[in-house]
Amino acid sequence: MADSQSRYEERRIDTGRITLNVRIGGSGPLMLFFHGITANSAVFGPLMDAFSDRFTTVAVDQRGHGRSDKPETGYEAIDYADDIAALIKTLDMGPAILVGHSLGSRNSVTAAQRHPELVRSVVAIDFTPYIEDEVFASLSARVNAGDQAFADTEAVVAYLANRYPNIPAPAIRIRAESGYAPAADGLRPLASASAMAQTAEGLRADLVPAYRDVTRPVLIMRGADSKLVSAAALEKTHELRPDLPIVVVPGADHYVNETNPDVTINAIRNFIDG
């Protein structure tokens, strides 16, 4: 599946505040993609394929992840959001459509709230305010458990398939082949363990102000079987901002864009064309 990424140019872009590794393709207005915690830009291949005929599509390794810079500190929402703003300014192609999953969803909404002039709209996939404390505790445990060495890529595939049982095998292989690199004791995650721990803790911060105050259009997506965003959290978010459209994807868990890419693509098309 690594070949499926070869049509996109991979490059590192110095934004003046951080250097970010991106995959870029297509032409037209700017559409940026931001992954979830511990993932990287490669997971958005199917979505980039769908939109590169109309947009310049740029999938980003966020700070601490993939092949982007990994500073010792700076893993709060505003740090990630200001990276997004700096990238849009550096590319000089805004305002941009932001598509974010989980961590990337939080960061995209925060960026739109802080820098509305740089953002056209946001697709916020499976992350909202009001996520319960016990959910964050479970997430932190899973994230920290990922800091280990693997004998080879097949061992990574087996680990990820067990960790993400609903993600299809081709998407699991993309994660395995793009997210790990040789180390002294085997293959280790490209994502910095320290950055992941800080990021997981930072996810607990109050997201209500960003959602309450964002003025750009936001589409909220949730997997009907998500273990991260409960039905109650989604309902409270709807009460906070009843004007924001919501799409709930039947049969999908937290990893909506990987488990149900076609539904995700159609929802994004309907949103941006509407």
So which residues are the catalytic ones?
A: 102, 126, 254
Q: Where are the beta strands (DSSP E) in 27-159?
A: 30-34, 56-60, 96-101, 119-125
CB contact at 8 A, 135 and 228: yes
The long-range contacts involving 4-8, CB below 8 angstroms and separated by at least 24 positions, are 4/45, 4/174, 5/42, 5/45, 5/174, 5/178, 8/45, 8/48, 8/57, 8/59
Chain-centroid distance, C-alpha 30 = 16
Residue 147 has phi, psi (to 5 degrees) of -85, 85
CA distance linking residue 5 with residue 12, whole number of Å: 16
Q: How many CB atoms lie within 10 A of CB 230?
A: 16
- Single-letter amino acid, residue 35: H
CA distance linking residue 190 with residue 76, whole number of Å: 20
CA distance linking residue 138 with residue 145, whole number of Å: 11
User: At a CB cut-off of 8 Å and minimum separation 6, what does 119 contact?
Assistant: 88, 94, 95, 96, 97, 98, 108, 111, 112, 216
